[in-house]
């Protein structure tokens, strides 16, 4: 399963767990308790990393094996965290016994070291992102990845050709980012560190530095600042990198102190890492265009002298004038091409040399071989003619035009690849540049306002948001009321009312009134940053199908060189042996020259650039298109699996339904007054956090509305009702019973609110007429809640959770697409079947406890079926992780989103169809790309090798071969860009989809 790695930033690789999964505190709470909790007596507690678990059945298997081990007192296994927590008697059980037991159960195990007892926080591995310039094909990617993975301290390295980015997981205590950059540069590529979300680092641009005295003043001020650990000022870029102690110094305080101590002379501007990346992309594209225009300017005259001038007598006569040992035309051609070959084309020689030193080959090697062969042959031909008087034809124009077309191809690729990241650029543009900070006195009164850079916002800041401006950070409204446009996240065009205690998302647009917002998430923790991170991480990932291209690229260059040598040898021997007539040779040519031109064309045209771009560019465009359509894709692996989905398993509550339960029926079966009945039920449920409890309280509140104090009529914050609603009764001994309901005591009498199981276990008799009423509710897709007071059943509540309006159409559309929908729920069979019938699902799994949903997923995976799970809650996380493709509803919990491969940001079931449809179209495009990339080689290599020459006298000059090579890469990238025209299926047309 793909996991979010917080994409573009450095993050601790070992972070917080996936969260709570059970009613008793869940996996995270159980696994992260202090070690000394169970260290009483002679018992010992350890944590074990367990790898290979895919579902709840696996975790249960491990847990059972551990509990059966003599001496183990307690064993708990957390599926999402791949960990086991074991308490045991060290006199009876050793660490190795625990490890062996888990391995005997069929899983990999490793005893984790106990946490340090010191107060200093140990530093784990980090995930850093680096820009890598100069990569031209998949062979380059393989070369960089191989070198990085061999570095001591590097745990993992992934390099993406399409984005020119690399992510490296490394141990900072063993290797630094500078060491990683040096290793990349030693491999023949350019490298730079992109960014970090470490709270102890800040990168700023410094304006106002005029001379060395200003630099000394800056360094002196930094040295005097308490909390600054180290700093580095780059005089060329005027960028200042500062590492500081966040417990002593904040980023805004740091900037303010530096500016104030310079008496206003220096102005610091926080560098947005995404903007820095964009500027590097623009710089690379501009550099390629500059090199191309220079090469073209020098190459065109050479081609003009070779092709056009022989038909212009006056000019040709000037070129034929002798100047020393050579003709004027030869001198001009040599001079111009030498500049192209060794000045403009220097980058190819440098990159090829470093690649060869590292034992790898890439496109640069092929370019250098082809151009050098043409250039040095031409030079040798001139020298040989000067010494012997036998003048052979030269091919300077082939060398010059080849480099020109390669640079043209690289420039067009840079433009095309730049367009593939438009989604990221659009998301970055959503972030506001500045914010208005409200400065308050100790009494909380606003004393002044100050405009600050939005990158300097700190948690707890109170920000003023004016009408028509963007919300600067995620937070809560503390003053004011307004409508906010949240379409950038939710896709809903209708503005959302924001009042006090309403949450707001950074980057959304405030439409009408002013708001005061207290920031609670800033930097990389904001929703917008997380979306950008997900998209960037997905674009960094590789689809499994790309392994084929990587394998081909690893053997392609040696194979091409061998093919070129065989072409040279074949044509030469055939000529010497008289297989073809000497009339085929060019004027003043020989068999070697004739054969060499075929060999050079083969070497140049067979470059695997297009093959290496086929998959990553398509994945990159698809992730961007998905983000624009509200579907966040976590990687190429998810895309490849989604196009093969056979079953889609839907959770019911909050996924197929709106997740907003409402009481539709309240029937009393005793002499109790209706108001008294609702008061009892609401009082019992007031301490519960269950969604049904909220629905019951809301229904009772409306009933008691006219008895409410006017100050509480608009109170809707769940969990505060008992504090404000005067009509609620005092309860004691409250307890929530998972899967059953709640029980408590009111006025000394026991009250039960829940299902049949709760009543049966408490020996409450359910009369036949009450049972019949509950069955009627369930058959009409409602949940029946039984209420007993003092061991007598007094009434029933009917609760309904309306279906999402698009649910039935989406289910029908999936069936049309050849996908089988399944519904899984913890509800009883009658309610489940009624809901399933309403949406058109025939396969229903009801009364499934949360831990059992993953088992349902595993059941459908039998036989190699690709299974998708669509859910929204914490209890869906194991199933989302177990499924081949997990799809989390965007309005769901962070834990569910973390466990999924697709995030449906707009919480619309229609996006399930979009995700599958986009995946299918993406892989159709990838297959098309491979056909296009292969077609150039399959068709062009034989032509370049001269297979048509004996019959049609057709041959490809080296410079034409270079043009074809550049065109193949551009064709593949442009083919991927066609995905940008993707339009998601509309509900009105989705039923027209047919299985292909």
The position carrying tokens 């913890």 is 826
Measured distance CA(263)–CA(362) in Å, rounded: 54
- On the CB side of 344, CA atoms within 13 Å amount to 30
DSSP label of 443: T
Determine the length of the chain: 996
Annotated catalytic residue, options 461, 651, 801, 827? 651
Selection from 857, 727, 706 nearest residue 54 by Cα: 857
Name which of 733, 734, 715, 735 is nearest 725 in CA terms. Answer: 715
Q: Closest Cα partner for 961 from 975, 947, 945, 979?
A: 945
CA angle 915, 916, 920 (to 5 degrees): 120
H-helix or E-strand spanning residue 600: helix 591-605
Q: From 166, 188, 403, select the one nearest 291 (Cα to Cα).
A: 403
Helical residues (DSSP H) of 421-506, grouped into ranges:
422-430, 487-490
User: Which SS3 state, helix, strand or coil, does residue 321 take?
Assistant: coil
136, 142, 144, 146: CA torsion to nearest 10: -170
Q: Can you tell me the distance from the alpha carbon of 436 to that of 453, in angstroms, rounded to the nearest whole number? A: 9
Is 281 among the residues known to form the active site?
A: no
Q: How far is residue 723 CA from its own chain's centroid?
A: 44
d(CA 957, CA 189): 30
In order of 25, 216, 223, 226, 260, the CA distances from 232 in angstroms are 46, 12, 11, 17, 20
Residue 944 neighbours by CB distance under 10 Å: 30
Distances in Å between the Cα of 330 and the Cα atoms of 307, 575, 748, 969 are 14, 28, 111, 34
Q: Give the Cα separation of 654 and 193 in Å (integer).
A: 42
Using alpha carbons only, what angle is made at residue 697 by residues 692 and 700, rounded to the nearest 5 degrees?
Answer: 125
- Under 8 Å CB-to-CB from 731, ≥6 apart: which residues? 683, 684, 686, 687, 744, 745, 746
Local structure of 887: helix, strand or coil: strand
Greatest C-alpha distance within the chain: 125
Which token pair is 469?
């401006």
**Distance of alpha carbon 426 from alpha carbon 212, whole angstroms:** 39
User: Is 8 strand, coil or helix?
Assistant: coil
In whole angstroms, give the CA distance from residue 713 to residue 721: 11
Report which of 602, 606, 609, 593 is spatially closest to residue 564, judged by C-alpha positions.
Answer: 602
Q: What strands lie across the sheet with 126-133, from one edge to the other?
A: 154-160, 165-170, 126-133, 190-195
Instruction: Determine which helix (DSSP H) or strand (DSSP E) holds 613, and give its type and residue range.
Output: helix 609-628
Q: What phi and psi, each to the nearest 5 degrees, are found at residue 157?
A: -145, 130
How far apart (Å, rounded) are the C-alpha atoms in residues 940 and 936? 5
726 DSSP assignment: T
Burial of 238 (0-12, 13-18, 19+ CB in 10 A): middle
Q: What is the sign of the dihedral through the CA atoms of 678, 684, 687 and 690?
A: negative
Three-class DSSP category at 317: helix
Active-site residues, by number, are 651
């Amino acid at each position: 399963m793909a996991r979010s790695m917080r994409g573009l930033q450095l993050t601790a690789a070992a972070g917080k767990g996936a969260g709570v999964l059970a009613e008793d505190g869940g996996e995270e709470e159980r696994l992260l308790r202090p070690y000394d909790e169970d260290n009483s007596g002679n018992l010992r507690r350890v944590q074990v990393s367990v790898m290979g678990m895919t579902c709840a059945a696996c975790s249960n298997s491990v847990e059972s094996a551990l509990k059966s081990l003599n001496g183990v007192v307690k064993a708990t296994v957390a599926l999402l965290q791949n960990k086991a927590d074991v308490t045991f008697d060290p006199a009876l059980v050793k660490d190795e016994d625990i490890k062996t037991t888990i391995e005997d159960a069929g899983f990999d195990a490793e005893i984790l070291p106990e946490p340090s007892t010191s107060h200093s926080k140990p530093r784990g591995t980090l995930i850093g992102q680096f820009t890598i310039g100069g990569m031209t094909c998949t062979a380059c990617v393989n070369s960089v990845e191989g070198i990085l993975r061999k570095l001591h301290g590097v745990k993992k390295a992934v390099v993406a050709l399409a984005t020119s980015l690399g992510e490296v997981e490394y141990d900072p205590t063993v290797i630094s980012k500078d060491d990683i950059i040096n290793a990349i540069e030693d491999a023949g590529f350019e490298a730079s560190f992109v960014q970090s979300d470490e709270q102890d680092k800040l990168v700023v641009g410094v304006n106002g530095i005029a001379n060395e005295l200003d630099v000394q003043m800056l360094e002196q001020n930094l040295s005097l600042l308490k909390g600054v650990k180290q700093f580095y000022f780059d005089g060329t870029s005027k960028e200042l990198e500062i590492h500081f102690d966040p417990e002593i110094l904040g980023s805004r305080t740091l900037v303010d102190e530096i500016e104030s101590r310079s008496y206003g002379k220096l102005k610091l501007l926080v560098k947005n890492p995404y903007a820095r990346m964009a500027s590097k992309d623009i710089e690379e594209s501009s550099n390629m265009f500059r090199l191309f225009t220079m090469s073209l300017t020098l190459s065109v005259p050479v081609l003009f002298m070779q092709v056009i001038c022989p038909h212009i007598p006056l000019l040709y006569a000037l070129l034929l004038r002798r100047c020393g040992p050579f003709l004027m035309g030869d001198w001009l051609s040599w001079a111009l091409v030498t500049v192209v070959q060794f000045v403009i084309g220097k980058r190819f020689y440098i990159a090829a040399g470093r690649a060869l030193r590292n034992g790898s080959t890439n496109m640069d090697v092929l370019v250098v071989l082809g151009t050098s062969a043409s250039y040095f042959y031409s030079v040798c031909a001139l020298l040989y003619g000067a010494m012997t008087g036998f003048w052979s034809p030269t091919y300077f124009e082939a060398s010059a035009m080849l480099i020109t077309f390669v640079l043209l191809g690289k420039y067009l690729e840079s433009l095309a690849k730049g367009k593939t990241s438009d989604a990221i650029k659009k998301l970055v543009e959503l972030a506001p540049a500045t914010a208005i900070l409200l400065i308050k006195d100790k009494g909380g009164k606003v004393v002044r306002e100050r405009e600050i850079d939005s990158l300097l916002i700190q948690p707890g800041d109170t920000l003023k948001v004016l009408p028509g401006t963007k919300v600067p950070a995620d937070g809560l409204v503390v003053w004011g009321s307004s409508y906010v446009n949240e379409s950038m996240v939710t896709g809903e065009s209708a503005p959302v009312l924001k009042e006090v205690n309403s949450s707001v998302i950074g980057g959304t647009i405030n439409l009408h009134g002013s708001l005061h917002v207290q920031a609670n998430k800033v930097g990389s923790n904001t929703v917008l940053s997380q979306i950008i991170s997900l998209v960037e991480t997905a674009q960094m990932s590789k689809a499994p199908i790309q392994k084929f291209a990587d394998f081909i690229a690893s053997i392609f260059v040696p194979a091409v060189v061998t093919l070129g040598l065989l072409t040279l040898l074949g044509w030469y021997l055939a000529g010497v042996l008289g297989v073809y007539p000497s009339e085929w040779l060019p004027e003043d040519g020989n068999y070697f020259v004739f054969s060499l031109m075929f060999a050079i064309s083969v070497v140049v045209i067979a470059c695997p650039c297009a093959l290496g771009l086929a998959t990553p560019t398509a994945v990159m465009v698809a992730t961007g298109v998905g983000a624009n359509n509200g579907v966040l894709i976590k990687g190429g692996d998810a895309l490849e699996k989604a196009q093969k989905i056979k079953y889609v398993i839907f959770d019911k509550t909050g996924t197929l339904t709106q997740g907003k339960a409402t009481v539709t029926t309240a029937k009393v079966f005793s002499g109790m007054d209706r108001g008294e009945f609702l008061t009892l039920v609401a009082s019992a449920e007031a301490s519960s956090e269950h969604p049904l409890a909220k629905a019951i309280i809301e229904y009772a509140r409306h009933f008691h509305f006219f008895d409410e104090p006017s100050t509480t009529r608009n109170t809707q914050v769940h969990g505060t009702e008992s504090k404000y609603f005067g009509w609620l009764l005092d309860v004691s001994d409250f307890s929530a019973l998972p899967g059953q309901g709640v029980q408590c005591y009111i006025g000394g009498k026991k009250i039960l609110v829940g299902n049949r199981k709760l009543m049966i276990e408490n020996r409450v008799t359910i009369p036949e007429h009450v049972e019949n009423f509950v069955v009627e509710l369930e058959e009409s897709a409602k949940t029946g809640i039984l209420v007993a007071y003092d061991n007598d059943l007094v009434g029933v509540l009917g609760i309904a959770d309306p279906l999402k309006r698009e649910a039935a159409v989406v289910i029908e559309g999936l069936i049309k697409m050849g996908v089988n929908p399944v519904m899984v729920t913890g509800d009883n069979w009658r309610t489940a079947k009624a809901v399933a019938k309403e949406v058109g699902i025939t396969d229903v799994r009801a009364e499934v406890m949360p831990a059992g949903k993953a088992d349902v997923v595993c059941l459908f995976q039998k036989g190699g079926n690709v299974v998708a799970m669509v859910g929204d809650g914490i209890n869906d996380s194991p199933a989302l992780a177990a499924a081949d493709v997990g799809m989390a509803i965007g309005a769901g919990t962070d834990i569910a989103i973390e466990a999924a491969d697709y995030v449906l940001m707009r919480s619309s079931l229609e996006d399930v169809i979009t995700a599958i449809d986009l995946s299918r179209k993406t892989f159709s495009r990838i297959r098309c790309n491979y056909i296009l990339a292969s077609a150039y080689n399959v068709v062009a290599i034989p032509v370049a090798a001269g297979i048509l020459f004996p019959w049609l006298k057709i041959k490809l000059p080296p410079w034409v071969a270079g043009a074809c090579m550049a065109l193949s890469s551009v064709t593949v990238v442009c083919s991927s860009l066609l995905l940008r025209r993707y339009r998601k299926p509309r509900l009105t047309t989705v039923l027209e989809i047919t299985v292909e």
